Amino acid sequence: MLVLVAPGQGAQTPGFLTPWLDLPGAADRVAEWSDAIGLDLAHYGTKADADEIRDTAVAQPLLVAAGLLSASALTATLEKGRAAFGAVAGHSVGEITAAAYAGVLSDADALSFVRTRGLAMAEAAAVTETGMAAVLGGDQDVVVAHLEKLGLTPANINGAGQIAAAGTMEQIEALVAEKPEGSMKVVALKVAGAFHTHHMAPAVATLEKAAQALAPADPELTYVSNKDGHVVTAGAEVVARLVGQVANPVRWDLCMERFRELGVTGIIELSPGGTLTGLAKRALKGVPNVALKTPDDLEKAAALVAEHAA
């Protein structure tokens, strides 16, 4: 059983969209999306530097656009199309990509919603200087207790020995100076705010209003929510979770446990792939995976699908 996953913020790198725009029709689609949401996705995905695409209001729509482009390119190569996948899930903003692929949202609604999300979260992040850092290694309970002692939130419990802490920059600096017992290191993340914490509460109210304009359909694929790893079968609930999730921790560890329970035999990560397949290599050992970094990876992904398709 194949699972399709979409990465979250921090996965972006300068120029990563460039090769995808060479695919037939891709540049036109991105131009249409850019006009619709008032953001030059092609520019930011090809010419912008790391600091420019670190901006939350830019990074989030850019990631969803890249995910949708790579998903479309992959699906076009598959005999069964989307039906080749047994389940779909996304990490943080990647959940919007996953919702679109599962048929809950149209591509246009997904881009409009993520544009609102990015702007609202950027505005919330500007209130207080905040950030995130990944703690690598160590016992999960020990790490979480240490973070809470410092006033930090375990915002992303990713499994495979990785927890992303979020809070004020002073709290992050204290974490760097005093890492949890048993952990290997602390790494600053390429994000501009304490996402999935109470600092994002103002963004929830904005998204609640934006969600009223959506007409979600029920998922056509098994949709695994990163709130708790549960399978969600109603489109309205998917959207409600997308709204609330910006201020609550991501439990990717529970998503991977759900993949295992569902009988996962292969994982494909949409562009810009690498982060989630890296976690899977450690937490779901022996499960083959392909990360879509450039269109050159489509052939490998199609081969994996041919071997493991539902």
Q: Can you give the C-alpha Rg of the chain in angstroms?
A: 18
Is 43 marked active-site? Answer: no
For residue 269, give the H/E element and its range.
strand 266-269
Contacts of residue 173, defined as CB under 8 A and 6 or more positions apart, other chains included, come to none
| DSSP assignments along 142-168, one per residue | HHHHHHHHTT-EEEEEEETTEEEEEEE
Catalytically annotated residue among 196, 225, 271, 308: 196
Catalytically annotated residue among 92, 112, 183, 225: 92
Using left for φ > 0, alpha for ψ between -120 and 50, and beta otherwise, residue 286 falls in left
Cα–Cα distance measured from residue 257 to residue 124, given in angstroms and rounded to the nearest whole number: 32
Cα–Cα distance measured from residue 32 to residue 26, given in angstroms and rounded to the nearest whole number: 10
Is 146 marked active-site? Answer: no
| DSSP assignments along 19-48, one per residue | GGGGSTTHHHHHHHHHHHHT--HHHHHHT-
| CB 125, CB 155: distance < 8 Å | no
How many C-alpha atoms does 198 have within 13 Å on its Cβ side?
4
Q: Return the active site residues.
A: 92, 196
